[in-house]
Structure 1
């Protein structure tokens, strides 16, 4: 059942909201000025909910990217930005916090327009401009506190006094995904600017509108020209030109493992610094002593509601003890039945379409593969009715009795598909949880605190939630294994945008 059962196909449209938001064709922001692209190429932005054309954005050419990097390079090498006093840099950036909070309602609507996520979800704290403001607030608070160290004399062989300093790494290429563009922009741009770096931002072509809107806010600051720049376009053109540009010192990227591998390859030539968050196939471990039905609901919310499983930290493998398997499934089915697709600007809509038609085809292929590999399709695997046929919708899907070596359990699907795998004891659960190339996140559902700590240390993943999972600006998040390199959030993130320099002084003592 969806909230569009009585709508005709023609009644579901996002164009009125586009017009109310006054969305204009996207331009580039280079050296402190809005400019047209050097190229006539444009990216046609389609709404995932209806596949209507929303607008077009510039597909930046290699020349455009070179101008952006050149502006950032000059601002870093010749401008005052990296050499400002801590208080001065903080004062220039702080007004953005209030601007983000003021713009929060509009930015939530823009995210809904560009990636199809319901307004009921984009307005929530963890995806809104409110959390982006807090990310900036947290990192700006470190500007006057992030320093080096002094080191005591180690042996009588040297009278040198050793000191270390933290200095900005240089020009940063920040590449933002489509599924949480406001939050991810803040996660990259805030620590980079706070550290004294200059930035060239490249948002996903599937969600550039919110980044353009935030760039308009940054344009209202008194930053020196070139400190912040924005180029839009597809990965094969603007993205490739940015990651291979010799003027870039560091690449910070969130997205697919395949693109992350390409960034590592390209960065190797110039030994660029990298921070990579590359997805996951995260497990949830559910034990009989937990509130099992609520655990089923919690896991299925990540899969079926909001982003419809299109987030890297989603616990898409549910490892459930055999003694509570059916109870878990009861909770998961309850959430699946509560999904309401439809107009993403309707507050009653609670789940998203897939980001594009190609992703829809890909997820449907996984459904077919799961059945072929012998898993039991408990529910879903099909598309909603005619009222939603123009959009990229797929009904919430649950597979049971899944083999952990199957594609369903090993590959990141990025859709509303849950693989449920039984286990008999703790050791088996840990073995299955760690039997993956990924290591981004995991969930543990138990009331036994000793078990929770024990398993949290044994699971090879960067972030472990016990009976719950969320993100906070002051805590580091990142992956083990192929889920990435480095961390975002907290002091750790800010340090990743610095180089550590050691100075040795002859004291004559």
Structure 2
């Protein structure tokens, strides 16, 4: 891993760097080296950030700009961030172990492209929507205004720190809101730098505040703060439930993108070479640390042994190694706690009768003795009732589950508390579409995986979340509707008052 100077980073509140008494240590997952220290925000710092956001919102220094003015500033921010992409990539991958290819293209490149999408959306979004003229109970014209909510709280995870934060910050800013971000403790660096870039390129102070800190303190305060109108959260289903409880105290709006246990359904007419590559890509990209990863390969029993043999042969070619090497396909997992958790799932499954046909532990080699590594692992002998097939592991572990009929495959896919994403592998698109209609997930990819398009809504069924991010209506989640009615009758001649007052003198 390329070393960087160990620097100290402050909170970003009201356009100022704010230091604190306590610091958090940012560790490189590849070798457990310290890459930075960051001021640790508390509930009181969240209070300060919310106050700054509220003051900025009420001053209308941002909300009062036209959508076109906001869009132009957001594009300038995206351009400046793109000029700093190498720095952002280094900050991101040094903290979360993403490979340089993934960090450059998906983590940072995608993030800035999506931020630009939200800027463009501000240009075209209908903030004022005339309704038809009505004649009853009076001649009137109604107009619906989509107005910003106020202060929005964004709580982001460690796996895609900038991308998933900008999925929230982008539409919130485009709509005219102020934002307070609580990034994950492992990975606040790229978002802190983005906030500096944003204010250097036209975003007024106080509109975007970033407060790294502990979820139980800073995060909980943000979710329960009475002056925060909405919480947008990406993370585990367990924490999502807690966020909902905290938000309910002040009836906040919530958007939750939570866990997944994605099925990859291989039909008996699939192109097996394509399906093998696709299933491996769907599971092992970014060491399986993606919520919509396809961690359950649901395979025809008649093809099971052949398919598994192909999976193993192809998986042996996955290059596991240093994240800053452009030839590396898969890097480490986020930390020692998660490494131990993943290995425990594997060991428990093997104890219950599953077989690790490849992987199952830490990769061999001296370079893997430091840092937090798990080898790409494929488990057979698994049924859908086992914890390894039901619970979100968030690591490079693929379970292979056989089936006999298409209906059984669909039933296995749907037998989950999660419903975020699925893939279907077939040479018959019509058949694939028929299966997709029956799968209970927010996204279904036919002969593809991880296909997330800013123009298409993303979110989950069941306990995979509430609401949707992205898509042409993304600003709906960051605005509220106000109906304004204008009487066109010229006064009381329209008679609605007569209905109310007809017996007033009785």
TM-score, normalised via structure 2 length: 0.93
More deviation in 233-242 or 173-182?
233-242
Alignment partner of 1:74 is 2:55: yes
Partner of 2:223: 243
Distance in 2 (CA, whole Å) between partners of 1:367 and 1:192 is 40
Partner of 1:18: 4
Distance in 1 (CA, whole Å) between partners of 2:203 and 2:99 is 34
Alignment partner of 1:118 is 2:104: no
1:445 deviates by 0.3
Which secondary structure state, in structure 2, belongs to the residue aligned with residue 236 of structure 1?
helix
Matches within 5 A, 1:336-375: 336-375=315-354
Contact kept in structure 2, 1:57 and 1:233, CA below 8 Å: no
1:176 deviates by 1.4
Q: 2:423 aligns with which of 420, 425, 443?
A: 443
Q: 2:10 aligns with which of 16, 27, 31?
A: 27
Contact kept in structure 2, 1:302 and 1:308, CA below 8 Å: no
Distance in 2 (CA, whole Å) between partners of 1:144 and 1:127 is 25
Contact kept in structure 2, 1:49 and 1:353, CA below 8 Å: yes
1:377 deviates by 2.3
Partner of 2:498: none
1:153 deviates by 5.0
Contact kept in structure 1, 2:183 and 2:191, CA below 8 Å: yes
Q: 1:189 aligns with which of 155, 160, 169?
A: 169
Partner of 1:282: 262
Distance in 1 (CA, whole Å) between partners of 2:466 and 2:239 is 13
Partner of 2:376: 396
Contact kept in structure 1, 2:80 and 2:201, CA below 8 Å: no
Alignment partner of 1:210 is 2:210: no
Which secondary structure state, in structure 2, belongs to the residue aligned with residue 476 of structure 1?
coil
Distance in 2 (CA, whole Å) between partners of 1:340 and 1:448 is 32
Q: Deviations over 1:343-392 (max 9, x none)?
A: 22122222121111111111111112212332232221111233311111
Q: 2:452 aligns with which of 459, 466, 471?
A: 471
Tell me which stretches of 4 or more aligned residues in structure 1 moved more than 3 Å: 153-158
Distance in 2 (CA, whole Å) between partners of 1:314 and 1:47 is 23
For structure 1, which runs of at least 5 residues remain unmatched after alignment?
Answer: 1-13
Matches within 5 A, 1:287-306: 287-304=267-284, 306=285
Partner of 1:8: none
Which secondary structure state, in structure 1, belongs to the residue aligned with residue 282 of structure 2?
helix
Partner of 2:485: 504
Identify if the C-alpha distance between structure 1 residues 123 and 224 changes in structure 2 by more than 3 Å, giving closer, same or farther. Answer: closer
Which secondary structure state, in structure 1, belongs to the residue aligned with residue 122 of structure 2?
coil
Partner of 2:412: 432
Query: Larger Rg: 1 or 2?
Result: 2
Distance in 1 (CA, whole Å) between partners of 2:319 and 2:219 is 35
Which secondary structure state, in structure 2, belongs to the residue aligned with residue 141 of structure 1?
helix
Contact kept in structure 1, 2:144 and 2:484, CA below 8 Å: yes
Distance in 1 (CA, whole Å) between partners of 2:230 and 2:188 is 21
CA RMSD of superposed structures (Å): 1.6
Alignment partner of 1:419 is 2:384: no
Distance in 1 (CA, whole Å) between partners of 2:274 and 2:383 is 24
Q: 1:36 aligns with which of 19, 43, 46?
A: 19
Alignment partner of 1:323 is 2:314: no
1:396 deviates by 1.1
1:106 deviates by 2.2
Distance in 1 (CA, whole Å) between partners of 2:424 and 2:125 is 34
Distance in 2 (CA, whole Å) between partners of 1:431 and 1:56 is 48
Contact kept in structure 1, 2:134 and 2:141, CA below 8 Å: no
Partner of 2:87: 106
1:273 deviates by 0.7
Distance in 1 (CA, whole Å) between partners of 2:221 and 2:39 is 14
Identify if the C-alpha distance between structure 1 residues 327 and 492 changes in structure 2 by more than 3 Å, giving closer, same or farther. Answer: farther
Q: Deviations over 1:150-171 (max 9, x none)?
A: 3335674343322211111111
1:123 deviates by 2.0
Partner of 1:494: 475
Distance in 2 (CA, whole Å) between partners of 1:139 and 1:46 is 32
Contact kept in structure 2, 1:443 and 1:468, CA below 8 Å: yes
Partner of 1:223: 203
Distance in 2 (CA, whole Å) between partners of 1:256 and 1:477 is 16
Q: Deviations over 1:374-432 (max 9, x none)?
A: 22322211112333111111111111131111101110000110011111111111111
Which secondary structure state, in structure 1, belongs to the residue aligned with residue 17 of structure 2?
strand
Which secondary structure state, in structure 2, belongs to the residue aligned with residue 275 of structure 1?
strand
Distance in 1 (CA, whole Å) between partners of 2:72 and 2:470 is 21
Contact kept in structure 2, 1:292 and 1:324, CA below 8 Å: no
1:42 deviates by 1.0
1:17 deviates by 2.1
Which secondary structure state, in structure 1, belongs to the residue aligned with residue 190 of structure 2?
helix
Distance in 1 (CA, whole Å) between partners of 2:99 and 2:180 is 29
Contact kept in structure 2, 1:59 and 1:237, CA below 8 Å: no
Contact kept in structure 1, 2:27 and 2:33, CA below 8 Å: yes
Matches within 5 A, 1:118-197: 118-124=99-105, 126-128=106-108, 130-147=109-126, 148-153=128-133, 156-197=136-177
1:81 deviates by 1.6
Contact kept in structure 1, 2:7 and 2:35, CA below 8 Å: no
Which secondary structure state, in structure 2, belongs to the residue aligned with residue 308 of structure 1?
helix
Distance in 2 (CA, whole Å) between partners of 1:205 and 1:324 is 44
